[in-house]
Amino acid sequence: MIRLMLFFLYCSLVTDSLGKGVIILNISPKGYPPYMIKKTGKQPRGIMIETLQIIASKHGYTVKIDRIPRKRVVLRLNSGKLDATPLAKEWISNPENFEFTDSIIRVRDVLFSLQKLPLKFEKIEDLFGKEIGTHLGYKYPMLTTYFKNNRILRNDTISEKAMFEMLLRKRTDAAIINELVGKWHIRKNLWKGKFVASKKDVGGFDYRIMFARKWRDFVHKFNKELSLMKQNGLLEKIISKYKAE
């Protein structure tokens, strides 16, 4: 009887120490600051990571970070080797096969150009004949037709930082970059005063976390907590912290 009681006590202690389990979250191998920030020798952080960590901890989960190339994420989710990844519904062909959280943040893609040579952008026609820096592999629905018929020239690069460097060398007229990502790079690379962002955007999306189907119940809980964080200002505090970093 004593041994049985000790066994149940041990099981209880193990459950308390481990919580309900682990959520394996994928982030881009290179990060996507300020949403996902990866630095050598430091724990990954950022808007999407911190938001999930706060909500997960309230429900007894810890978050473990993995770094899987985007083309392998769906396979890992379906095989059970991965639980979640930050994503927009528009970026995947079969969103109904997964569980998406409500929007954590609305993202805007804008045009950055040199402050000394600002590109006026009030309508699509303002971009005709211009060479626009774009991210390799990214789609820009608002401009797709014009890229195809060469009314607007597309100049692919491998990163946002590379786009800014092309602008500095005057090898492109403007670059399409996520507004917060662009401003983060400007701060980190001491480029203040060198670039200007358009007020008009060239697209946007709701940034969410996509979970494997088995996490449906947790996603419902996540959305309730997220709504509360929006109401009490905690989510805005998180976003503002990384905006100013």
Which residues form the domain of 218? 11-104+209-244
Tell which wins on pLDDT, 1 or 204. 204
- Predicted local distance difference test score (pLDDT) of residue 62: 97
pLDDT (0 to 100) of residue 127: 98
Query: Is a pLDDT exceeding 90 seen at residue 165?
Result: yes
- DSSP annotation of 92: -
**pLDDT (0 to 100) of residue 15:** 40
Shared-domain flag, residues 21 and 33: yes
Number of domains in the chain: 2
Q: Which residues of 103-130 are buried (b: 16+ CB within 10 A; e: fewer)?
A: bbbebbbbbbbbeeeebebeeeebbeeb
pLDDT at 240: 96
88 and 31 housed in the same domain: yes
Look up the CATH number of the domain holding residue 126: 3.40.190.10
Contacts of 98 (CB under 8 A, 6+ apart): 77, 92, 210, 211, 212, 213
Query: Has residue 2 been placed in a domain?
Result: no
List residues bridging with 201 in a β-sheet. 110
pLDDT of residue 7: 43
Q: Is residue 133 part of a domain?
A: yes
More confident residue, 205 or 39: 205
Res 13 pLDDT > 70: no
Is residue 3 in some structural domain?
no
Tell me: do 199 and 128 sit in the same domain: yes
Same domain, 86 and 135: no
Asked if residue 122 belongs to a domain, the reply is: yes
- b/e 14-38 (16+ beta carbons within 10 angstroms → b): eeeeeeeeebbbbbbeebbbbbbbb
% of the chain exceeding 90 in pLDDT: 82
pLDDT, tens digit (0-9, with 9 covering 90-100), for 172-187: 999 999 999 999 999 9
pLDDT of 40 reads: 80
5 belongs to a structural domain: no
The answer to the question of residue 6 being in a domain is no
Do 131 and 199 lie in one domain? The reply is: yes
Do 161 and 187 belong to one domain? yes
CB 167 within 8 A of CB 8: no
Flag whether the pTM goes above 0.85.
Answer: yes
